[in-house]
Chain A
Amino acid sequence: MKFINYIALICSVFMISSCDSFLDKQEDEALTFEKIWSKRSTVEKYLNNVWGFMPEESNWVDENPWIGASDEASVTYNRGYRYMNFGTWSPSNVPYDRWSKFYSGIREANVFMQNIDATTAEDISEQERIQWKAEARYARAYYYFLLLRSYGPIMLVGDEPIDFNQDVATLSYMRNTYQECADYITKEMTECAAVLPLEQDAIYWGKPTKGAALSMIARLKLYSARPLFNGCELYAGIANPDGTKLFPTYDKNRWKEAAEANKRVIDLGIYELYEDESGNPIKSYLGVGLKTWNKEIIMARWTGGYYNRVHCTPRVVGGAAFGGIGPTQQQVDAYAMANGRYPIKGYRNDGTPIIDETSGYKEDGFSNFEHPYDQLKDGHKQKSTFNMYVGREPRFYATVLWSGADWPYMAGGKVPVFAFNGNSGPGVSHDYPKSGYICRRFIDGSLNSNGGQWGNLTFPIFRLAEIYLNYVEALNEFDPTNTDILLYLNKIRSRAGVPNIEEVYPEAVNNQSLMRELIRKERRIELAFETHRYFDTRTWMIAEQTDNGPMFGMNTMAPVANANTTPAAFWQRAEFEVRVFEPKHYLYPFSQRELDRNKQLTQNFGW
């Protein structure tokens, strides 16, 4: 009897004590969402999380297609920009689709802004609280801009994080109009500019400033004035299910707004074009990208140099060297001669260049030539050089590395050869530049990558030269005789070591269309490899000419006799691929995944 009692007792004890409490989680004082807002350190972490969705613009291989899918370069690897270049992307295959990522950033910013005011952390001052909130606001508006530039008008989701437990149907949003989006970003950035400091403390460099917020408005206003977003016929019919037209009609006044917005940044007066102490224009121009936090930078992101540099280092250098990012022949052709004349006026149907004979440019033969960069080093030496590269303007030498030119690392002594079976060319490896050139703009010649030195970059997001170029472009459209055009254009040219524009092309003064062309050329060269070109060709709506058709380089398929010597057959223009650009490609498609889920979403033109 006792035994059965015992069992009954045990069982009943378990029954009573059981049910829920046995299964309760052992208390472990885990960090909770509420606790985040009670400590300075966790609040700072949350703010940093808001910023964690920022794209790494210097990583042209894995983070963005802006270099690989623009006419300034070819990136060799098998990534999404191939689909873009060959016109085979589609809503079911959207390369570098950052839609969800940026909306996540927007949501996190909303969460931060909703909670920061109620923070109970005592060691956050009122001033910091206001500023941190503005930093989150800046990030949110910037994410909207990043969406806008790729997709066109998108949805503005407000300040409250969206309740995802709602019925799925209520999570369908219609697109806002372009004007609403642009106005919203402008308004938000204006509010940020009112709160953010002119300059952050050195330990916070890289956080947004008043200048960054104003620059954001300045670029947005410029884009808004350009043809794609200013009365574009292609997109005139794109409307929401309720009939709202999403794209604005033409308004010339937008150019004026753009000019004013850019002038506001210039008028801050705290930025200046970077010039090297030596005054050497190559060093000055290289310094823009390599001197961290130089005075020209308005906004930049601190990043390790590895991801950019490893893809721009030819294999011959050794170590980690995947050298696959090369300027196209079109980009090479775009650089002026040292005298300021642009050598290539255009192309014939067969792709051969129309050469401006007055420029002094030659495309055959070789000269003994000393690379201007070498003059910066101790060992001067002349090399037999293809005439195409002789006598060009300084920014050419800072940007383009051709086959047979010395690798800039001083103690390196390596000479890449991009021909077939050459030490850095096709044949045994897929790691080679298809165009036969390498981009060297962000290579710090004082660092040896083979020894593991990659350096750091403050890759420019906004810099003064861009603002100047924005400004003169806008001025030229609504006030072509404004003297500021020559003033600011020549500031850039002067830093770059090229003659003033009116000295080279006097006929362009007060000639709006010629000046437009020259401003665009200047922009292409000055801002090369800063991820502008992709958006410039699209907002100018010239991509059907620039990104459609054969892309040229040198003849990398010419076999070498010796892996370290470029063969003669290499020195001719050769088509390395044919790109396809259709009108629908001006804007990204919305992914089919998103369309399936958001029934109110209107697809972009042509997709």
Chain B
Amino acid sequence: MKNHFRGIKWRAGILSLALITSPLYADAAQGQLSIKKQSASLKQIIQLIEKESGYTFFFKSSDLDDSKKVNIDCEGSIEEVLKVALKESGMTYVIKDKEIILKPIPVTQNAQQKKRIIKGSVIDAETKEPIIGANVWVKETTIGAVTDVNGNYSLSVNANVGLVVASYLGYKDMEVMAGDKTEIQFKLVPDAEALEEVMVIAYGSQKKESVIGAISSVDVAKLKVPTSKISNNLAGQLAGIVAVTRSGEPGSGSAFYIRGISTFGANKNPLVLVDGIERSLDLVDPEDIASFSILKDATATAVYGVRGANGVILISTRKGADGAPRINVKAEMGILGPTKMPKMANSAQFAEMYNEASESKYYSQDVIDKYANGTDPDLYPDVNWIDELYQDFTTNQRVNVNISGGGSIAKYYIAGSIYNEGSIFKSDNSNDYNSSINYNKINFRANLDLNLSKSTILNLNLANVYEKKNSPGAATNNIWIYSFATSPNAFPARYSDGKFSGPLAGSGFNPYNLLMQSGYREQFWNSAQSLIGLTQDFSEIITPGLKANIKFSWDAYNSNLITRSKEVQQFMAIGRDENGNIIYNETAKGQESLGYKNEVYGYKTTYLEGSITYDRLFNDVHRVGALFLYNHKIKNYTATDDAQTSLPYKNQGIAGRITYSYNDRYFIEGNIGYNGSENFSPGKRFGVFPAGALGWMVSNEDFFQPITSIIDLLKIKGSYGIVGNDQIGGSRRFIYEATIKQSGVPSYQFGETGNYNPGAIRIGEWANANVGWEQAYKTNIGIELSLFRKLKLQGDIFHEKREGIFMQRGALPGLVGLSTTPWVNVGKMKNQGFDGSLEYEQTIGDFVLTGRGNFTYSQSEILDNDEPDWKNLYQNRIGKPYGQLFGLEALGLFQSQEEIDNSPTQSFGSVRVGDIKYNDINGDGLINEEDIVAIGHSNIPKINYGFGGTLQWKGIDVSVFFQGISKVSYFLIGNSIYGFNLGTLTRAAINEDVYLNRWTEDNPMAKYPRLDSKANTNNNRNSTFRMIDGSFLRFKNAEIGYTFPKKMLTGTFLKTVRIYASGVNLLTFSNFKLWDPEQGGGEGAGYPPSRIFNVGLNVNF
């Protein structure tokens, strides 16, 4: 009976929805009833009727006021009995077959119109302090208010009111039946459960103190930096994140890794899950994020099995909360400019350098003077291409609105944002199209939770991202390349009479034309993310703590690029006629109209997941949890170039977890992933990935209690397990099958006119029936510590061994004659290190001070890359970190011919005084490839860190954040560094730093070697001379805000108002000065990271 009754309640939920649409009719009841009961509640009476009559009742328990006790004694038909039983309940009924549906008597029009006021206050039940900003609302309505500075509220309500609810974060909700009351006092009780921090973990959440895997999370507010992509905001924010932003171009994201790189295989990237669905991180608006965590060790990621080896990033989006609608509006605008732009030598300096390099007077003094005084910019130009093409700053704007609220039936979070960012690219306003980069993004999200019954939640998350980017018709990387390559004296940006300038065909482009006269491109991305989920709590049906969930998502992503490009008619001035008019040579005919090209890309994904979870505390000491989950995913690319990539990509798996803790002191956890990948042979697709962890909360032990005033929390934990990586082939699929290669196979032309060419065909990739996933063996030992309840420390030591890295055989001799080297699972790599974080909070009077910091150190080592030993063992890649730079060791610059004669022969080209002198590592008297050794570090930083703090004083808040990387090296490579490397004078721009610091006889200990008028194959090699230390410390973010006092807002519709100003990338400290060190090596030819100054307004209604 008991269970039966619960079943009814649950089904009533479903039916109450059905009733809205289905027509009602009553069926005459048969048979007589006799009901007799003293002081019974309505529910008891209903049970009695059910028992006697065989009818089943359906109702929403919230509709039923079960508090009144009545006496009942009647006899008759079911209708007669019901009339008596429901007389004072405010309910009416409908009979359908053997079911009786109860519903409230509709409120009359008259009663609704009568308004009255309910007022009162909300206070803390313990301290009796007023609670400011608490929500008070009439349940099931939109009528609500927020308490003022004195904790008072006032509601204008209808005459007939049900429950009034008060809620505030950290307190239990309190409900009071309003009846005809005009004043209600709420005394809220702090909610210990609600205050307990919960951490998002794989396929669920856990009490923070029971988490014994290595998981870091970040306060989401920290990620809300005014940039377009969240991946750009990760660097330095979490212990364990390694993020690299190489470009500041609007709309571009960053590369990021968890705990560095642990494999040299194809996929090094973590798995990113948004609301449990694999999605791109950058499709999420930072404003919509409720939690952001990274899962680092085996126990945290084992349930993802074959996909979790590189770590997992979990993001959940915000949900609605009970209460009246809360509207949050945030508007920001800012200006952005490059952090640092390289500077090139001007024409006079350029000419001086060339004369020196070529040991000639190619540029006469007269010409150099003309460059310097700028009297004839058409024939003797001096163009600073970087200034000519790029402006110092641009602007961005963002408006974000979100509304959240909810009641007992539904909770909602609805958000929308608009973001717009310009670029530093200049545009020619005389064209009727804009060729600059402009990036727009519109985000929309609606997250709904519907309570279908007390224990059933239907969850619907819908999000849509609409991105648009306008850019120049020419490829942006070409614009960067030519703006860095074009000599200052090559030609003017445009001749003074308006003619377009340009070099001879085949010898480059005029970057001004590329940027502003090449038409435009318009790229459009559209992403729709949809998720529906149903959660049933079986606590009252089967056993407490049991829940089941089913989840289905369908996502689509499409992009479309329209290129409307052209080339303008261009000329080159070759002199002046006797009248002083410029004589032109036409160098490009150009096109009259814009061309048209359209490229599309897209994919669609469906995902299905079903899970059962169990979580229960027995006897107040034994906490048991379990998870069992099934999922599968199908992804299709919708616009592919070849048949194979158009086939669906599928994943499938099962995950399980069991956790146990005793008295919150001892924790044990086991995780298992069992999943498969389509990449592998039938029968070899599925693998088991187990992991286990142990934890000890030392501070909960009795013996520890005396010192809890100093150390209030101490937890020690350790984990070990195996996780896999099945994305091992990059674009390679179905590795168990061979592929046939047709395009790109060199063929031979035959025939009288060479037109017999049947094409060529051969085996592309070899079949490998034994191939499997990479396996990561991960160990983690961690400690959590809290001192004086103010300082929280967390640290983890990790060690990972990756085996079975999928790679091309390196050990096969050439005589085997393979056109394609086969791929096998033979690589091994190790990665180990440390990550830790620190949080501090202190209140001194009105001041609230917080500080935080985190640090990640990871060191990888290649253990096996299938290469036999090199002749010189120091050249082995095995034993070195991944990405280790290799080059020659420079000993300085040759200062005399005698020194050259007495040094080992350098085999890379003829050597002169002022050239780089290298170290003969193997001592064979010859400097060649055998003298290349490991130098510096890798281009992925080994050390990543961030630290910052906040200060609040009354309404004012200030925050600062610094971020840095260390143990990272790059090579300077590029014509603007080498000088005259291409052997042409029009594409030979040289960095001013080279001009200032090059070797000359007067500057023997120079930073750069002597200039050569052609490619210098001795100097232009990777060596310690050309290597830079890429470490930097960056003042990444600062913000100052002011929140207006509540008093000022009293009487307005505003709840809170905050204004703020912030800055991003404010200062960079680095030994490397030529461009932003985060851009890496090369010659800095790319969109630099932006420095941003922002002002914003945040209003809550």
A204 x B871 contact (CB < 8 A): no
A320 touches B983 (CB 8 A): no
* Most interface-central of B644, B748, B817 (chain A CB within 10 A): B817
Known: A19-B676, A33-B738, A53-B746. A78 touches B815 (CB 8 A): no
Interface pick from B511-519, B522-530, B904-912, B1021-1029: B904-912
Question: Which one of B658-666, B753-761, B944-952 contacts A?
Answer: B753-761
Residues on the A chain within 8 Å of B746, using CB? 52-53
Tell whether B409 is near chain A: CB-to-CB under 8 Å. Answer: no
Interface centre among A23, A83, A161, A320 (most CB of B within 10 A): A23
A20 at the interface (CB under 8 A from B): yes
Q: How far is the CA of A273 from the CA of B452 in the complex (A)?
A: 96
How far, in whole Å, are A341 and B902 apart by their CA atoms in the complex?
46
Q: Complex Cα distance A206/B737, Å?
A: 36
Residue of A36, A90, A92 most packed against chain B (CB within 10 A): A92
How many B residues touch A, CB cutoff 8 Å?
Answer: 89
Chain B residues, CB < 8 A from A302: 749-751, 754
**Contact present for A203 and B678 (CB under 8 Å):** no
Residues of chain B lying within 8 A (CB to CB) of residue A566: none
Contact residue range for chain A?
35 or more
Given A22, A42, A52, A203, which contacts B747 in the complex, CB threshold below 8 Å? A52
Any A CB within 8 A of the CB of B82: no
B19 within 8 A of A: no
In the complex, what distance in Å separates the CA atom of A407 from the CA atom of B870? 51
B534, closest chain A residue (CB): A3
Is B5 in contact with chain A by the CB < 8 A criterion?
no
Smallest CB gap from B536: residue in A = A3
Tell me if B879 counts as interface (CB < 8 A to partner A): no
Q: Which of A103-111, A235-243, A487-495, A505-513 contacts B (4 or more CB under 8 A)?
A: A103-111
A7 to B549 Cα, complex, angstroms: 8
Q: B742 an interface residue at 8 Å Cβ cutoff?
A: yes
Q: Using Cβ atoms and an 8 Å threshold, which residues of chain B touch A41?
A: 758
Instruction: List residues 3-29 of chain A with CB under 8 A from any CB of chain B.
Output: 3-4, 7, 10-11, 14-15, 18-20, 22-26, 28
Asked if B185 CB lies within 8 Å of chain A CBs, one says: no
Q: Are B815 and A23 in contact (CB under 8 A)?
A: no
Assess the B1015–A78 pair: CB atoms within 8 A.
yes
Query: Is the C-beta of A190 less than 8 angstroms from some C-beta in chain B?
Result: no
Interface-located stretch among A364-372, A427-435, A440-448: A427-435
Question: Which residues of chain B are within 8 angstroms of A14 by Cβ–Cβ distance?
Answer: 610, 630, 632
Does any Cβ of B come within 8 Å of A173's Cβ?
yes
Q: Which of A88, A91, A303 has the most CB of B within 10 A?
A: A88
**Chain A residues closer than 8 Å to B815, beta-carbon distance:** 99, 103, 154-155, 157, 162, 171, 173, 594, 598
CB pair B871–A595 under 8 Å, yes or no, is yes
Q: Do the beta carbons of A202 and B758 come within 8 Å of each other?
A: no
Chain A contacts of B159 at CB under 8 A? none
**Closest chain A residue to B653 by CB distance?**
A18
Task: Identify which of A43-51, A353-361, A534-542, A543-551 touches chain B.
Answer: A43-51
Does A82 lie within 8 Å of B909, measured CB to CB?
A: yes
**Nearest CB in chain B: distance from A424 CB, A:** 13
Q: Out of B360, B548, B758, which one reaches A45, CB within 8 Å?
A: B758
Q: How many Å from the CB of B997 to the closest CB on chain A?
A: 25
The answer to whether A307 has its CB under 8 Å from any CB of chain B is no
Whether, in the assembled complex, A31 has its beta carbon less than 8 Å from a beta carbon of chain B, the answer is yes
**Distance, CA A48 to CA B756, complexed state (A):** 10
Which one of A33, A106, A301 contacts B740 once the chains associate, using CB atoms below 8 Å? A33
Check if A408 is an interface residue, CB within 8 A of chain B.
Answer: no
On whether the beta carbons of A206 and B548 are closer than 8 Å, the reply is no
Q: A18-B632, A164-B809 are in contact. Are A108 and B756 (CB under 8 A)?
A: no
A414 within 8 Å of B (CB atoms): no
Q: Is the interface of B mostly helix, strand, loop or mixed?
A: loop
Which residue of B610, B738, B754, B812 is within 8 Å of A168 (Cβ)?
B812
- Is B928 an interface position by the 8 A CB rule? yes
- When C-beta atoms are compared, the residue in chain B nearest to A31 turns out to be B740
Contact partners of A162 in chain B: CB under 8 A: 815-817
Interface centre among A41, A45, A49, A596 (most CB of B within 10 A): A49
A429 and B362 alpha carbons, distance in the complex (Å): 12
Structural contact, A7 and B550, CB atoms closer than 8 A: yes
Count A/B pairs, Cβ under 8 Å: 248
- Give the chain A neighbours of B762 by CB distance below 8 A: 46, 49, 108, 111
Chain A residue at minimum C-beta to C-beta distance from B758: A44
Given A28-B647, A30-B644, do A36 and B752 touch, yes or no (CB 8 Å)?
no
Q: Does B117 contact A (CB under 8 A)?
A: no
Q: Given A205-B751, A592-B871, A594-B813, A45–B647 Cβ distance below 8 Å?
A: no
B643 close to chain A: CB less than 8 A: yes
CB nearest to A457 among chain B residues? B754
B335 within 8 A of A: no
Question: A596 touches which one: B358, B362, B676, B870 (CB < 8 A)?
Answer: B870
CA–CA, A82 to B813, complex, Å?
Answer: 27
Contacts of B816 in A (CB 8 A): 103, 107, 162, 164, 171
Residue contact B506 to A597, C-beta cutoff 8 Å: no
Flag if B928 contacts A206 (CB, 8 Å).
Answer: no
Q: Which residue of A lies closest to B930 (CB)?
A: A92
Query: How many angstroms between the C-alpha atoms of A33 and B815 in the bound complex?
Result: 22
B505 at interface, CB cutoff 8 A: yes
Measured CB to CB, the nearest residue on chain A to B809 is A164
Contacts A108-B819, A595-B871 given; does A427 touch B360 at CB 8 Å: yes
Contact in complex: B550, A10 (CB < 8 Å): yes
User: Is B612 at the interface (CB under 8 A from chain A)?
Assistant: yes
Tell me the nearest residue of chain B to A302, going by C-beta: B754
Tell whether B1017 is near chain A: CB-to-CB under 8 Å.
yes
Which of chain A's residues have a CB closer than 8 A to the CB of B281? none
Cβ of B869 under 8 Å from chain A: yes
A103's nearest neighbour on chain B, judged by CB, is: B817
B 743-785 binary contact with A (CB < 8 Å = 1; else 0):
0011111111110111111110000000000000000000000
- Chain A 239-278, CB-CB to B under 8 Å as 1, else 0, gives 0000000000000000000000000000000000000000
- Residue pair A48, B759 in contact (C-beta under 8 Å): yes
Cα-based distance from A48 to B762 in the complex (angstroms)? 10
Q: Choose among B358, B752, B1015 the residue that contacts A203 (Cβ–Cβ < 8 A).
A: B752
Complex: A592 Cα to B814 Cα, angstroms: 11
Among B682-690, B1040-1048, B1067-1075, the stretch in contact with A = B682-690
Q: Which of A3, A15, A108 is most buried by chain B, counting CB atoms within 10 A of its CB?
A: A3
- In the assembled complex, B538 has its CB within 8 A of some CB on chain A: yes
A93 in contact (CB, < 8 A): yes
Q: Is B76 an interface residue (CB 8 A)?
A: no
A591 CA to B538 CA, complexed, in Å:
71
Q: Contact flags (1/0) for B977-990 with A, using CB distance below 8 Å?
A: 00000111100000
**A99 to B648 alpha-carbon distance, docked (Å):** 40
Q: Which residues of A contact B757 (CB under 8 A)?
A: 48
Q: Which residues of chain A (300-334) have a CB below 8 Å from chain B?
A: 301-303, 318-320
In the complex, which of the residues A22, A78, A82, A292 contacts B652, with contact meaning CB atoms closer than 8 Å? Answer: A22
Q: Which residues of A contact B651 (CB under 8 A)?
A: 23
Instruction: Using A104-B819, A161-B817, A302-B754 as known contacts, say yes or no to A26 and B740 having CB atoms under 8 A apart.
Output: no
Residues on the A chain within 8 Å of B360, using CB: 420-421, 427, 559
The reply to whether the CB of B26 lies closer than 8 angstroms to some CB of chain A is: no
Q: What 9 A-B pairs are tightest by C-beta distance, nearest first?
A: A430-B983, A88-B907, A107-B817, A100-B814, A103-B817, A302-B754, A52-B746, A45-B761, A51-B748
* A-B contact list, 14 entries, CB within 8 Å: A3-B548, A7-B550, A14-B610, A31-B740, A32-B738, A36-B761, A46-B761, A48-B748, A49-B760, A88-B926, A161-B817, A207-B750, A592-B930, A594-B814
> With contacts A103-B816, A593-B814 known, what are 10 further pairs, Cβ within 8 A?
A3-B536, A15-B630, A20-B682, A22-B650, A23-B677, A26-B647, A45-B747, A104-B819, A203-B751, A421-B362
List chain B positions with a Cβ less than 8 A from chain A. Answer: 7, 10, 358, 360, 362, 504-506, 536, 538, 541-542, 548, 550, 610, 612, 630, 632, 643-644, 647-648, 650-652, 654, 676-678, 682-683, 685-686, 734, 737-740, 742, 745-754, 756-763, 809, 811-819, 822, 867-871, 905, 907-910, 926, 928-930, 982-985, 1014-1015, 1017
